């Protein structure tokens, strides 16, 4: 093949039209022949395309909708982007902040200052739903090649209007809005099938073109600017989670509640047909429009048997008239408003989809499968994970995403540098501080907790007693903004700080100039208990035990199962955000009270964890001191009562998350 050779040598080469003309003279030439992988041409299989891309023209792949991007790694010191037409783009190299490229066209040099020789990451994204990237390939150094980028374990799709597209007063449009941010926080690939001014309802003249509603155009490759768009091939992108945020324009353009509800119900059904196993999240539009109709549509689908569907009540997330909103219209959230939304939505999704299932690795299988490394020479030997000294090596668990958790590990930091645990980490790349998230590290006599975001901010650093044992036990307990770090002594934290910068993300290990080993890693999120009503979880509120479907703060519905206070063979249910407080029965009601140490309290706060009375794959809680009485909900409140009817059994059966 001649084409890859041109790329590698970096010689001037004929433009695509001339090239096609020359090649078309050769006998047997097929104009659709794909280039070899590794050369940076559009068909290079190392390039990961996310969003709706039209690949029907081999030498110019076109993106549609907001925030579409491609990711790839490349070797060498430079990279140039070839475009067939102008578009507003953004690019990021090696995880650094995105660079704005308004009106990018022709061949664009993305590295005016050459990079250090090595492997680099690249992501190029479109600014808005009005931009079409017409990608003709990358030009690399002579002899340089592309490489496959780090895989992402999760995929999310967002469906919406201007607020989800990124419109209006945001610094980087699609890249500043909540949808993009949630995807990045959760280390997921993400799409924004969104268009400013669009309604859900089709055939209504809303403020997007051609009276095309999302209930029709969502199923198309192209936006509402293309009324004759071909259908989208849903086999090309199967998300784990889909977030729907529609209704604001339907409200503003007079679609009736009844019509909206019917269309929303059908839309949810149509989504389920395309995505048989995805979780669907129907978001209350941030301004509250069509909220009741959205709830009704969700409930209709749940009643019809959809078990992976949740309504997200966003009441109170952002407030009109404050800096949460653009002062221009009080309709579109501001940059900081989108940050608030993302920090609430990302953990909600991660917990619901169960990306925080317990994670552990003791390396007895002799391999580091499931770990993704960013710098450093990592290996598994003698049942431990080991890394050679390196300025900032990281390895993270591929897939799990935790917000609240207890993270335990045995860490041997070695003689120099420090070693420890990263958590709530995202945007990971090679480099000491090339990630967003927290790091708790130790050396022989110090423990430090800090925050990385391209740079490093120490939150606390304290002395620890030296130990004759080179292996120290490290524990991090993160609940909301409360971050605690324990070393060897698991009773009293060495560090206890409050920081709300990062809410969710990956867990892993990191070293700084240390030859270190890690073993017995274990991360466990708190338990949550869903009632017989889908989406309604056991929570405390004003000390009363209840069930409800939107819980803020989320920690009010998060519990630690600990050995029973009255009998260690049974369990007690301790609050995550009120340590020392337990669910107990009192006069037939369930309350969350402090352990006062009395035998009565301890008995009232001890439960037998039984097979679910209505479903043996789930659980029921029988009281320890009143056999035959179980925890059950009734009228939204929790009681302890004898169980007889099938309704009793159903209301006393919970699903543990």
Q: Of 503 and 507, which CB lies nearer to Ca ion in the complex structure?
A: 507
Whether the Cβ atoms of residue 494 and residue 476 lie closer than 8 Å to each other: no
Q: Of 246 and 521, which CB lies nearer to Ca ion in the complex structure?
A: 521
Cα–Cα distances (Å) from 83 to 16, 54, 146, 555, in that order, read 11, 15, 18, 48
**Range in contact with Ca ion (rule: CB under 5 A) among 147-155, 512-520, 599-607, 635-643:** 512-520
Smallest gap from residue 439 Cβ to Ca ion (A): 22
Look-up: residue for tokens 């060498």? 76
Whether the Cβ atoms of residue 475 and residue 315 lie closer than 8 Å to each other: no
Reduced to 3 states, what is the DSSP secondary structure of residue 219? coil
Distance CA 115, CA 119 (A): 10
Residue-wise DSSP of 289-318? TTHHHHHHHHHHHHHTT--SEEEE--TTSS
Q: Of 232 and 518, which CB lies nearer to Ca ion in the complex structure?
A: 518
Q: Return the half-sphere exposure (C-beta side, CA atoms, 13 A cut-off) of residue 640.
A: 25
Q: Of 73 and 412, which CB lies nearer to Ca ion in the complex structure?
A: 412
Distance CA 98, CA 216 (A): 33
Q: Is 362 in the site for Ca ion (CB under 5 A)?
A: yes
**Quick one: which H or E segment has residue 340?**
helix 335-353
Q: Of 226 and 398, which CB lies nearer to Ca ion in the complex structure?
A: 398
User: Which is nearest to 424 in space by CA: 495, 481, 364?
Assistant: 481
Q: Is 360 in the site for Ca ion (CB under 5 A)?
A: no
What DSSP designation does 556 have? G
Tell which one of 109, 367, 379, 416 touches Ca ion (CB under 5 A). Answer: 367
Smallest gap from residue 409 Cβ to Ca ion (A): 11
Q: Is 383 in the site for Ca ion (CB under 5 A)?
A: yes
Q: In the 3-class helix/strand/coil scheme, how is 159-217 assigned residue by residue? A: EECHHHHCCCCCCCHHHHCHHHHHHHHCCEEEEEEECCCCCCCCCCCCCCHHHCCHHHH
Q: Of 139 and 507, which CB lies nearer to Ca ion in the complex structure?
A: 507
Q: Of 45 and 360, which CB lies nearer to Ca ion in the complex structure?
A: 360
**Range in contact with Ca ion (rule: CB under 5 A) among 207-215, 226-234, 519-527, 556-564:** 519-527
Q: Of 57 and 357, which CB lies nearer to Ca ion in the complex structure?
A: 357
Smallest gap from residue 511 Cβ to Ca ion (A): 18
Q: Is 379 in the site for Ca ion (CB under 5 A)?
A: no
Size of the site for Ca ion (CB under 5 A): 7
Q: Is 518 in the site for Ca ion (CB under 5 A)?
A: no
- Considering only residues 230-269, where is the footprint of Ca ion by CB under 5 A? none
Smallest gap from residue 487 Cβ to Ca ion (A): 19
The token duo for 518 is 């890690």
**Range in contact with Ca ion (rule: CB under 5 A) among 174-182, 376-384, 413-421, 638-646:** 376-384
- Considering only residues 32-91, where is the footprint of Ca ion by CB under 5 A? none
Cα–Cα distances (Å) from 463 to 232, 260, 416, 488, in that order, read 58, 61, 16, 13
**Range in contact with Ca ion (rule: CB under 5 A) among 208-216, 439-447, 511-519, 643-651:** 511-519
**Range in contact with Ca ion (rule: CB under 5 A) among 148-156, 236-244, 266-274, 379-387:** 379-387
**Range in contact with Ca ion (rule: CB under 5 A) among 53-61, 83-91, 137-145, 383-391:** 383-391
Smallest gap from residue 398 Cβ to Ca ion (A): 11
**Range in contact with Ca ion (rule: CB under 5 A) among 162-170, 477-485, 515-523, 631-639:** 515-523
Tell which one of 205, 365, 500, 647 touches Ca ion (CB under 5 A). Answer: 365
Q: Of 408 and 519, which CB lies nearer to Ca ion in the complex structure?
A: 519
Residue 162-181 contact track with Ca ion, rule CB under 5 A, x = bound: --------------------
Reduced to 3 states, what is the DSSP secondary structure of residue 16? helix
Whether the Cβ atoms of residue 638 and residue 547 lie closer than 8 Å to each other: yes
Tell which one of 135, 363, 423, 559 touches Ca ion (CB under 5 A). Answer: 363
Distance CA 416, CA 605 (A): 48
Whether the Cβ atoms of residue 278 and residue 158 lie closer than 8 Å to each other: no
Distance CA 177, CA 164 (A): 7
Q: Of 329 and 362, which CB lies nearer to Ca ion in the complex structure?
A: 362
Tell which one of 161, 240, 519, 556 touches Ca ion (CB under 5 A). Answer: 519
Question: Residue of minimal CB distance from Ca ion?
Answer: 383
User: Which residues are CB-neighbours of 299 under 8 A, at least 6 positions away?
Assistant: none
Q: Of 408 and 574, which CB lies nearer to Ca ion in the complex structure?
A: 408
Q: Is 107 in the site for Ca ion (CB under 5 A)?
A: no
Smallest gap from residue 395 Cβ to Ca ion (A): 12
Q: Residue 56: is it exposed, middle or buried by C-beta count within 10 angstroms (0-12/13-18/19+)?
A: exposed
Whether the Cβ atoms of residue 310 and residue 280 lie closer than 8 Å to each other: yes
Judged by the rule CB under 5 A, the positions of this chain that interact with Ca ion are 362-363, 365, 367, 369, 383, 519
């Amino acid at each position: 093949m001649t084409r890859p050779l041109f790329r590698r040598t970096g010689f001037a080469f004929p433009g695509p039209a001339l090239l096609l003309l020359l090649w078309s003279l050769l006998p047997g030439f097929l104009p659709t022949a794909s280039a070899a992988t590794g050369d940076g041409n559009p068909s290079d299989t190392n390039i990961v395309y996310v969003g709706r891309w039209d690949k029907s023209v081999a030498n110019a792949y076109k993106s549609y909708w907001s925030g579409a991007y491609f990711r790839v790694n490349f070797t060498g010191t430079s990279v140039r982007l070839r475009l067939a037409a102008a578009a507003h783009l953004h690019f990021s190299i090696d995880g650094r902040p995105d660079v704005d490229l308004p009106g990018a066209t022709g061949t664009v040099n993305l590295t005016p200052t050459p990079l250090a020789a090595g492997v680099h990451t690249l992501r190029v994204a479109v600014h808005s739903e009005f931009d079409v990237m017409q990608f003709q390939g990358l030009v690399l150094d002579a002899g340089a090649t592309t490489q496959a980028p780090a895989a992402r374990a999760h995929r999310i799709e967002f469906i919406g209007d201007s607020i989800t597209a990124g419109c209006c007063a945001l610094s980087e449009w699609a890249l500043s809005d909540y949808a993009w941010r949630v995807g990045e926080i959760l280390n997921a690939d993400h799409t924004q099938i969104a268009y400013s001014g669009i309604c859900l309802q089709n055939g209504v003249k809303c403020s997007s073109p051609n009276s095309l509603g999302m209930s029709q155009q969502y199923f198309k490759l192209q936006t509402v600017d293309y009324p004759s768009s071909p259908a989208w091939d849903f086999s090309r992108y199967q998300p784990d989670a889909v977030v729907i945020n529609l209704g604001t324009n339907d409200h503003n353009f007079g679609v009736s509640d009844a019509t909206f509800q019917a269309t929303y119900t059908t839309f949810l059904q149509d989504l389920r047909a395309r995505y048989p196993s995805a979780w669907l999240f129907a978001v209350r539009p941030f301004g509250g429009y069509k909220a009741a109709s959205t709830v009704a549509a969700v409930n209709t689908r749940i009643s019809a048997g959809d078990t992976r569907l949740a309504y997200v009540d966003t009441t109170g997330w952002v407030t009109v008239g404050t800096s949460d909103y653009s002062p221009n219209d009080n309709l579109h959230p501001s940059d900081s408003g989108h940050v608030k939304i993302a920090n609430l939505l990302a953990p909600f999704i991660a917990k619901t989809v169960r990306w925080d299932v317990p994670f552990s690795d003791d390396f007895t299988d002799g391999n580091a499968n499931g770990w993704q490394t960013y710098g450093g020479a990592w290996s598994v030997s003698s049942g431990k994970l080991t890394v050679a000294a390196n300025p900032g090596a990281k390895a993270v668990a591929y897939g799990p995403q935790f917000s609240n958790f207890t993270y335990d590990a045995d860490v041997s930091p070695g003689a120099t540098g420090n070693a420890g645990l990263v958590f709530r980490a995202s945007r990971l790349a090679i480099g000491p501080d090339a990630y967003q998230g927290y790091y708790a590290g130790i050396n022989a006599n110090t423990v430090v907790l800090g925050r990385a975001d391209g740079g490093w901010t120490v939150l606390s650093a304290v002395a620890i007693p030296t130990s004759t044992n080179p292996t120290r036990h490290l524990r991090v307990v993160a609940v909301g903004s409360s971050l605690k770090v324990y070393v060897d002594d698991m009773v009293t934290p060495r560090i206890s700080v409050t920081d709300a910068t990062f809410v969710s993300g990956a867990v892993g290990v990191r070293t700084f100039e240390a030859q270190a080993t890690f073993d017995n890693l274990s991360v466990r999120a708190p338990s949550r208990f869903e009632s017989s009503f889908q989406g309604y979880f056991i929570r405390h509120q004003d000390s009363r035990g209840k069930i409800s479907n939107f819980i803020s703060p989320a920690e009010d519905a998060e519990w630690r199962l600990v050995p029973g206070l009255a009998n260690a063979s049974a369990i007690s249910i301790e609050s995550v955000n009120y340590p020392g407080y337990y669910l107990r029965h009192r006069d037939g009601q369930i309350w969350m009270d402090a352990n006062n140490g009395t035998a009565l309290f301890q008995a009232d706060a001890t439960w037998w964890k039984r097979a679910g009375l209505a479903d043996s794959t789930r659980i029921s809680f029988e009281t320890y001191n009143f056999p035959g009485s179980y925890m059950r909900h009734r009228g939204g409140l929790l009681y302890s009562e004898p169980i007889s009817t099938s309704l009793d059994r159903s209301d006393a059966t919970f699903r543990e998350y």
